[in-house]
């Protein structure tokens, strides 16, 4: 309190930039930042922060499984740690959802580093195998009640390194506030863009074999979630064709308060992504859309999500997408395959009263613990929702020679697209 009375710091220009997106911080040739060991360690930040480790996977019959650990800090209160799991079978439409507040969370567990964690209800153990075809993996086990137990071995291939946007300790970070070195908040994502899972799910006494591709992401929102973003989009495409093809994209739109001219200049879109082609990480994308500028013409770096068709959803009150278009473009990061990589996926979602592939409309305030609702402190009348879809999809790719044997131009890849659209305010 006294420091605010007697501060000798110079006043901040109210029109100074107070959002510094990672998508604008690096040159095209600098977008690929290979993950370092510290990047995927649990930070367990204090203050107001949400840190997550999330594993997504598709089984051979099309079933998807998501496992997530959520570490939520609320000021000086003791953090809340949840383990959540969602299983969706698109053939039967059966959806299984578990959310457990865990006990005795520890990182690192004895004898391990902070890439591993455990609690009474789960353990996630990082296992390095340097020099092998799969140099890193996680062993995940969870007992989420009498009706659901999970055991997964999740491995990353040597040809698909984990990435963040930009190398070094600041890689991956978007900063909020006038001074990035003393930021009011931040957002960071670190990806394993394609993984392979094997294991077993025991659901209601029935054993289900797990084998299939997926993705791992470690993320932190170092600020109250309702101050970080008004909107989020997420896309995850996987195909087993051509030696393994994956595409991931994450974007968020800032609130009105954070932009490049201070409060009132917000609704900036920051997007990051990556493309795996032929079982190799081929490109990393990042792009910023400022509200007072149009997107740059095609060419160069593109990382974009468009709700290309929308309709009013009476359930939520939002103009929700009925078609989403995803676009990635960047130089190849493979030294033996120089050239431009470009990919597009258009997903038809149907209509709000008859969505195609809808997994769930998640009423966020109905799902999160009371302690987090207190932190979020939404204004009256705001109803945050997460739409989740899973549909067959085609990724249209243009790529240089050398990435996929025998392919040096256009390619259509058939696979599965899981995507989310989140409306917060």
What pLDDT score was predicted for residue 151?
A: 98
Mean pLDDT of the 26-33 span: 96
What pLDDT score was predicted for residue 317?
A: 92
pLDDT digit string, tens, across residues 254-306: 999 999 999 999 999 999 999 999 999 999 999 999 999 998 876 689 999 99
What does residue 165 show for φ and ψ, rounded to 5 degrees? -85, 110
* Nearest to 159, CA basis, from 326, 12, 288, 282: 282
What pLDDT score was predicted for residue 307?
A: 98
> What is the span of the domain harbouring residue 190?
10-423
| Model confidence band, residue 383 (pLDDT cutoffs 50, 70, 90) | confident
What pLDDT score was predicted for residue 12?
A: 74
| Model confidence band, residue 373 (pLDDT cutoffs 50, 70, 90) | low
Q: Please tell me the least confidently modeled range out of 49-53, 96-100, 245-249, 364-368.
A: 364-368
| Model confidence band, residue 7 (pLDDT cutoffs 50, 70, 90) | very low
CA distance linking residue 236 with residue 248, whole number of Å: 5
Q: With pLDDT > 90 as the criterion, what percentage of the chain qualifies?
A: 86
- In the chain, the largest separation of any two C-alpha atoms, in whole Å, equals 69
| Model confidence band, residue 366 (pLDDT cutoffs 50, 70, 90) | confident
Q: What is the 8-class DSSP label of residue 376?
A: H
Q: Are 35 and 361 in contact (CB under 8 A)?
A: no
Mean pLDDT of the 340-364 span: 96
| Model confidence band, residue 380 (pLDDT cutoffs 50, 70, 90) | very low
* Nearest to 356, CA basis, from 341, 346, 342, 344: 346
What pLDDT score was predicted for residue 10?
A: 53
Residue 2 lies in a domain: no
Number of domains in the chain: 1
Query: In whole angstroms, what separates CA 310 from the centre of its chain?
Result: 23
Output the six-digit token pair for 366: 């109905």
Q: Please tell me the least confidently modeled range out of 85-89, 106-110, 132-136, 360-364.
A: 360-364
Task: Count the neighbouring beta carbons within 10 Å of the beta carbon of residue 68.
Answer: 17
Q: Is the pLDDT of residue 77 over 60?
A: yes
Q: Please tell me the least confidently modeled range out of 72-86, 129-143, 180-194, 309-323.
A: 72-86
255 Cβ neighbours under 8 A, 6+ residues apart = 226, 227, 228, 229, 230, 266, 267, 425
More confident position, 2 or 402? 402
Output the six-digit token pair for 17: 């930039």
Residue count of the chain, please give it: 425
- Give me the sign of the Cα torsion angle 70, 163, 165, 419: negative
What pLDDT score was predicted for residue 141?
A: 98
What pLDDT score was predicted for residue 3?
A: 39
pLDDT digit string, tens, across residues 58-71: 999 999 999 999 99
Coil vs helix vs strand at 256: coil
What pLDDT score was predicted for residue 68?
A: 98
* Nearest to 84, CA basis, from 129, 142, 127, 151: 142
User: What DSSP line would sit under 184-244, residue for residue?
Assistant: SEEEEEEEEEEEEEEEEEEETTEEEEEEEEEEEEEEEE-S-HHHH-SEEEEEEEEE-GGG-
* Nearest to 59, CA basis, from 212, 236, 201, 244: 212
Q: Is the pLDDT of residue 352 over 80?
A: yes
Mean pLDDT of the 216-220 span: 98
Q: Is the pLDDT of residue 375 over 80?
A: no
- Helix or strand (DSSP H, E) at 321: strand 319-331
Residue 169 lies in a domain: yes
Q: Are 216 and 191 in contact (CB under 8 A)?
A: yes
What pLDDT score was predicted for residue 2?
A: 32
What pLDDT score was predicted for residue 368?
A: 63
* Distant-in-sequence contacts of 318-325, Cβ < 8 A, 24+ apart: 318/385, 318/423, 320/352, 320/387, 320/421, 320/423, 321/349, 321/387, 321/421, 322/348, 322/349, 322/350, 322/351, 322/352, 323/347, 323/348, 323/349, 324/233, 324/235, 324/349, 324/419, 324/421
What is the pLDDT of the chain when averaged over all its residues?
A: 93
Residue 143 lies in a domain: yes
Burial label for 377, CB within 10 Å (0-12, 13-18, 19+), is exposed
Residue 1 lies in a domain: no
For residue 197, the domain's CATH number is: 2.40.370.10
């Amino acid at each position: 309190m006294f420091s605010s009375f007697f501060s000798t710091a110079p006043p901040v220009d109210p029109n100074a930039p107070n959002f510094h997106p990672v998508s604008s911080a690096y040159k095209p040739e600098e977008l690929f930042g290979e993950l370092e060991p510290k990047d995927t360690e649990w930070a367990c930040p204090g203050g107001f922060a949400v840190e997550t480790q999330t594993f997504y996977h598709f089984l051979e019959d099309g079933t998807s499984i998501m496992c997530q650990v959520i570490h939520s800090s609320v000021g000086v209160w003791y953090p809340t740690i949840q383990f959540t799991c969602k299983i969706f079978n698109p053939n039967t439409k059966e959806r299984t959802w578990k959310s457990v507040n865990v006990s005795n969370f520890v990182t690192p567990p004895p004898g391990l580093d902070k890439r591993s964690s455990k609690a009474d209800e789960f353990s996630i153990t990082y296992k390095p195998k340097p020099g092998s075809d799969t140099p890193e993996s996680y062993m995940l086990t969870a007992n989420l009640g009498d009706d659901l137990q999970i055991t997964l071995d999740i491995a990353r291939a040597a040809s698909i390194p984990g990435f963040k946007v930009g190398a070094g300790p600041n890689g991956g970070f978007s900063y909020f506030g006038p001074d990035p070195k003393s930021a009011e908040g931040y957002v960071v994502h670190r990806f394993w863009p394609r993984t392979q899972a094997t294991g077993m799910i025991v659901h209601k006494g029935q054993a289900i074999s797990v084998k299939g591709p997926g993705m791992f992401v470690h993320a932190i929102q170092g600020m109250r979630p309702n101050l970080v973003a008004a909107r989020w989009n997420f896309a995850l495409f996987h195909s087993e064709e051509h030696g393994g093809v994956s595409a991931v994209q994450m974007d968020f739109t800032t609130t009105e308060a954070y932009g490049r001219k201070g409060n009132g200049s917000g609704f900036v879109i920051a997007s990051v992504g990556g493309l795996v082609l032929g079982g190799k990480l081929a490109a990393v994308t990042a792009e910023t859309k400022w509200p007072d500028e149009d997107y740059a013409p095609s060419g160069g770096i593109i990382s974009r999500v468009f709700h290309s068709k929308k309709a009013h959803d009476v359930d939520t009150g939002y103009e929700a997408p009925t078609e989403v278009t995803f676009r990635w473009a960047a130089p190849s990061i493979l030294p033996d395959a120089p050239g431009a990589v470009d990919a597009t996926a258009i997903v038809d979602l149907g209509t709000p009263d008859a969505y195609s592939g809808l997994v769930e409309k998640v009423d966020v305030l109905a799902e999160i613990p009371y302690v987090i609702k207190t932190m979020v402190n939404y204004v009256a009348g705001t109803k945050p929702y997460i739409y989740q879809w899973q549909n067959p999809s085609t990724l249209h790719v243009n790529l240089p020679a050398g990435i996929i044997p025998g392919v040096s131009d256009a390619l259509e890849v058939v696979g599965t697209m899981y995507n989310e659209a989140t409306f917060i305010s």
